[in-house]
Amino acid sequence: MCCSKVFTGGNTLNRHAVVIHGSTIHEIIPIEKLDTNIAKINIPDSLLSPGFIDLQVNGAAGYLFSTSPTEKTLKKICEVHRQFGTTNILPTLISSDTNRIRSGISTVEYFIRSGIGGVLGIHIEGPYINNQKRGMHRKVSAPTFNQESVALLSSLSYGTTLITLAPESIPANSISALVDRQNVVAIGHSEASYEESLAALNQGATGFTHLFNAMKPLHSRDPGCLGAGLYDENSWVSIIADGIHVHPANIRIALAVKPSGKIILVSDAIVTPYCSNKTISYGSHVIYVQDGRCILSDGTIAGSCITLLDAIKYLTNELNVSLAEALRMASTYPAHAIKRSNELGYIAPGYIANLSVLTSDLKVIETWVNGQRYQYPE
């Protein structure tokens, strides 16, 4: 594939070609040095980027994974988000009961084992959260956290499991049991103190889910988990950058204090701009889509109406973040957060061919998922 610019996740190369063999990247080479016998796809005036990786996707086009954790739902969600440059997702289960968690894990495992591209694993958000900070989550009585809980949450055999929980909702030292089973653990929907949050990080938690949202505000004498997320240099934080969930000044603060590579973009999408849905069923609740917001009847924000591409545009247009850094926040840094940067998040030899092709005004015209090409005519 020959493009005007290739953003590798590290730097930008002009007039280079990316050679793909099967599902992986073989080499990146100047166009003029390309073997004349290789079949070429020329995409002039384009930017090739690593495909975007969204670690928190609830749904699209009227499909919610928490409501219907099926293969059909996953295919539709991947199809919609793929058109906006997101080549890989973690479908998200919101505070589900044991049977729904088991069903969601089973569906994701089948999806991955079948070789269907686009799904990297699962994000289990709850039910071990603080009900005072549940947001759109239904109020649930989480089952007692024990060895059976660890076994269930860790039962995905293929792919990545990201677990969002409130440290104060589970017994002490429980996080280490999840981490020992190769799960990625993030703090979220929590009123944990600063000290409780640092203890969770010491046990192996590595991130904070949608920083600023569904967590105790920063207080002069009580930094809470928000303060821990901002202060800790080693942990990553995810942010919903849509101009609705987080005030732009707070995003600027996070950008100023967190080390490079530790802020990732998530959509928390319920629907996307592509979808025409005005209402979506969520259990006994109805989510209303109004003026770019997803809300419950009482006005509670319920996920978002964006894709990672929208978040990239928001950062570059409203906060003057460089395009390269915004692209990293949507691709390279998420790969590091889930410990898969050896195969995802970069354009480099040996990496999976998950790619997004963008125009100069940031329209996605192609995506590649595991080496398979998808085109979106302008």
Bridge partner list, 215: 190
Is 90 exceeded by the pLDDT of residue 159? yes
**Is the Cβ–Cβ distance between 58 and 65 less than 8 Å?**
yes
Bridge partner list, 219: 222
Judge if 20 and 138 occupy the same domain. no
Q: Calculate mean pLDDT across residues 301-329.
A: 96
Judge if 36 and 160 occupy the same domain. no
Judge if 181 and 40 occupy the same domain. no
To the nearest 5 percent, what fractions of the chain are helix, strand and coil? Answer: 30, 30, 45
Assigned domain for 154 exists:
yes
Assigned domain for 351 exists:
no
Q: What is the Cα 229 distance to its own chain's centre?
A: 17
Judge if 363 and 244 occupy the same domain. no
Instruction: Give catalytic residues, as residue numbers.
Output: 268
pLDDT digits (tens, 9 = 90+) for 68-126: 999 999 999 999 999 999 999 999 999 888 999 999 999 999 999 998 889 999 999 98
Judge if 43 and 58 occupy the same domain. no
Assigned domain for 201 exists:
yes
Judge if 37 and 127 occupy the same domain. no
Is 90 exceeded by the pLDDT of residue 245? yes
76-81 long-range contacts, CB within 8 A, separation 24+: 78/117, 78/118, 78/119, 80/272, 80/274, 80/275, 81/54, 81/57, 81/267, 81/269, 81/272, 81/307, 81/308
pLDDT digits (tens, 9 = 90+) for 57-84: 999 988 999 999 999 999 999 999 999 9
Judge if 242 and 268 occupy the same domain. yes
| Residue, of 53 and 286, whose pLDDT is higher | 53
Assigned domain for 266 exists:
yes
Write down the mean pLDDT value for the chain: 93
Q: Calculate mean pLDDT across residues 214-243.
A: 95
In the structure, what pLDDT confidence band is assigned to residue 23 with cuts at 50, 70 and 90? very high
Give the ranges where 259-322 is alpha helix by DSSP (H).
308-318
Is 70 exceeded by the pLDDT of residue 197? yes
- Give the domain CATH number at 364: 2.30.40.10
Judge if 328 and 215 occupy the same domain. yes
Q: What domain range includes position 245?
A: 52-342
**Is the Cβ–Cβ distance between 95 and 134 less than 8 Å?**
yes
- Give the domain CATH number at 211: 3.20.20.140
Q: Calculate mean pLDDT across residues 223-238.
A: 97
Judge if 188 and 330 occupy the same domain. yes
Helix (H, G, I), strand (E, B) or coil at 307: coil
Assigned domain for 73 exists:
yes
- Between CA 371 and CA 378, with CA 376 as vertex, the angle to 5 degrees is 145
Judge if 12 and 108 occupy the same domain. no
In the structure, what pLDDT confidence band is assigned to residue 260 with cuts at 50, 70 and 90? very high
> Token pair 């109020």 is at which residue?
139
> How much of the chain exceeds pLDDT 70, in percent?
99
Judge if 240 and 333 occupy the same domain. yes
Q: Calculate mean pLDDT across residues 342-347.
A: 98
Judge if 195 and 246 occupy the same domain. yes
Assigned domain for 274 exists:
yes
Q: Given strand 184-187, what is the order of strands in its sheet?
A: 52-57, 86-94, 121-125, 160-165, 184-187, 207-208, 236-239, 263-265
pLDDT value of residue 294: 85
Assigned domain for 275 exists:
yes
How many domains are contained in the chain?
2
Assigned domain for 354 exists:
no
**Is the Cβ–Cβ distance between 201 and 220 less than 8 Å?**
no
pLDDT value of residue 135: 66
pLDDT digits (tens, 9 = 90+) for 200-223: 999 999 999 999 999 988 999 999
